[in-house]
Amino acid sequence: MLTLSLAWRNVWRNKLRSGVVAAAVGIGLLGGVYSIAFYNGMTVSAVRDAAETRIGDAQLHHPKHLLDDDPKFSIPDADAKLAAIGDLPKATAAAKRVETTAMVSTAATGAGVMLVGVVPVQERAALDLHERIVNGDFFETKKRLPAVVGKKLADKLDANVGSKIVVAMQRLDGEIVYAAFKIVGVFHTSDSRFDEGNVFVLFDDLCDQIGFDPTAATEILCSTEKVADAKPLAASLRRTFSEETTNERLVVQYWGEVSPILEMLESTKDQFAAIFLFIILLALSFGVVNTMLMAIMERRRELGMLMAIGTNGRIVFSMILLETIFLTLTGSAAGLIVGYALVELTATTGVDLSFFGEGLRDAGFSAVVYPYLDFGYYLAFAAMSAAAALIASLYPARKALKLNPVEATRVDV
């Protein structure tokens, strides 16, 4: 107990130096914690937005459709599959789609897009694209051949709600057909590439235009209550349609298989956090070691006197060890506490990056980031800080133990 008290008092004998070092450790750890929380927030937001707005939690396709967007590679009896999916405990909703590549044009310009035929009621239940409408509505206005387009595509075509777009598409028999669709809604998501590359029309309208069997679908999207349930849902779907998946007539993918980039971001965030914090603590440890070595040099006479009068070497070793640990953990505790408060504050308000938001949207990230960090991360960071403090303390403590009492007492400091 006496050693603990002495070590704590010795840390603050030079308040300025110890305060600067502790502040450096705290600020470094604060920066590391917040950077990791920021990265996690971007990752969680990207995964959630993709799953809830664009790709769903799980998808069903004909295997060849993954290699070729031709609608001839379709899923038969789509409505029966939707009914079977509805009985699965993890599935909250499902929607069928028909997709084909097309060219859309106005008097201003043209663009190649993916033309997606949807059933609005099913889409509203499975995804939240209808909540991203910034102008018009999601097929609520009754028009002949209605279409919903992304804001970026609308700007490119110089079109808006009420504008007509001419769509050139290929029928299943190979004939090129043209149709004039009227824009009834414009959406705006966190992914500008999605906004520019997709046009949504009614399922039956697209089936009529390209001669597609309305009882089939090129894609079925499924949603769950939580993104974490996507893998179990995909496993349930494979069991439910085991005959077709075994015979390679159907393939089931959860969101990570549909978008490997998102899967990589999600699966590597823990490794990123550990490596990033390790680098920060390693750099800070050198500063702490340097400071403690300076303190030992200044106190050589004092330490020599302690050993000369018979103080056990283990006590001197333990005292320097504890001083280094106290100095490191004081800064670490402050950094973690302030970091936690800052993360919790901005997790509610968000961090607006709209000044370069378009660049983020090009990469599929939202312009508003909500930093996020599980409490388990803080415990792990505290453990890493304690380990770094212990390791950093060993060399200065060993250096003090090697002092020659006779030579040390002769030093006039």
* SS3 assignment for the chain: CHHHHHHHHHHCCCHHHHHHHHHHHHHHHHHHHHHHHHHHHHHHHHHHHHHHHHHCCEEEECHHHHCCCCCCCCECCHHHHHHHHHCCCCCCEEEEEEEEEEEEECCCCEEEEEEEEECHHHHHHHCCHHHHEEEECCCCCCCCCEEEEEHHHHHHHCCCCCCEEEEEEECCCCCEEEEEEEEEEEECCCCHHHHHHEEEEEHHHHHHHHCCCCCCECEEEEECCCHHHHHHHHHHHHHHCHHHHHCCCCEEEEHHHHCHHHHHHHHHHHHHHHHHHHHHHHHHHHHHHHHHHHHHHHCHHHHHHHHHCCCCHHHHHHHHHHHHHHHHHHHHHHHHHHHHHHHHHHHHHCEECHHHHHHHHHCCCCCEECCCCCHHHHHHHHHHHHHHHHHHHHHHHHHHHCCCHHHHHCCCC
The sign of the CA dihedral 223, 227, 231, 232 is negative
The CA R_g of the chain, rounded to the nearest whole Å, is 31
**pLDDT tens-place values along the chain, 413 residues long:** 666 777 777 667 778 877 888 888 888 888 888 888 888 888 888 888 888 888 899 999 999 988 888 899 999 999 999 999 988 988 999 999 999 999 999 988 999 999 999 999 999 999 999 999 999 999 998 889 999 999 999 999 999 999 999 999 999 988 999 999 999 999 998 888 899 999 999 999 999 999 999 999 999 999 998 888 889 999 999 999 999 988 888 999 998 888 888 888 777 888 888 888 888 888 888 877 877 777 777 666 766 666 666 666 677 777 777 877 888 888 888 988 999 999 988 888 878 776 665 565 655 566 678 888 888 888 888 888 888 888 877 777 777 666 656 555 555 54
Per-residue model confidence as pLDDT tens digits over 244-286: 988 888 999 998 888 888 888 777 888 888 888 888 888 888 8
Structure tokens at 8: 């704590």
pLDDT in tens, 83-139: 999 889 889 999 999 999 999 999 889 999 999 999 999 999 999 999 999 999 999
pTM (predicted TM-score): 0.77
